[in-house]
């Protein structure tokens, strides 16, 4: 799977939601987004991510079906062509756990299927 930097225009709503939820200025998140980079996520890192909802203890097929209801067309197409926008993960200074801004479905589908996950990692 080839992962690429997500487009800020695609992630605008998620950045705004995160800004309000975490009480961080949206301009600060956008600046951090522009300075981010692609990183490979370990299984341990995936387990620590805050705001990541993926129950893989169920059968992988059921998990996949439940997830695909959300954005199944986009995710299936990305899997088919082998390219996907990277999920966005925020590392906050002084916080113990990274925070998933965007990409829960992408992250979980790839985790369930055993695809090595890369994310757009931003720091504040």
Domain boundaries, the chain: 2-123
Q: Who contacts 69 (Cβ-Cβ below 8 Å, separation ≥6)?
A: none
- pLDDT at res. 24: 95
- pLDDT at res. 61: 57
Stated length of the chain: 124
Q: In which residue ranges of the chain is pLDDT below 70?
A: 55-72
Q: Who contacts 85 (Cβ-Cβ below 8 Å, separation ≥6)?
A: 3, 4, 5, 6, 7, 10, 78, 103, 106
- pLDDT at res. 31: 96
């Amino acid at each position: 799977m080839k992962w690429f930097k997500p487009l800020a225009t695609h992630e605008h709503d998620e950045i705004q939601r995160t800004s309000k939820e975490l009480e961080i200025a949206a301009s600060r998140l956008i600046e951090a987004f522009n300075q981010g980079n692609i990183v490979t996520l370990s299984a341990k890192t995936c387990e620590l991510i805050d705001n990541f909802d993926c129950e893989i203890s169920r059968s992988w097929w059921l998990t996949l079906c439940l997830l695909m209801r959300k954005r199944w067309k986009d995710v299936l197409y990305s899997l088919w062509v082998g390219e996907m926008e990277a999920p966005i993960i925020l590392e906050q200074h002084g916080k113990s756990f990274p925070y998933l801004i965007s990409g829960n479905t992408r992250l979980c589908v790839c985790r369930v299927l055993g695809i090595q996950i890369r994310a757009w990692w931003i720091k504040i």
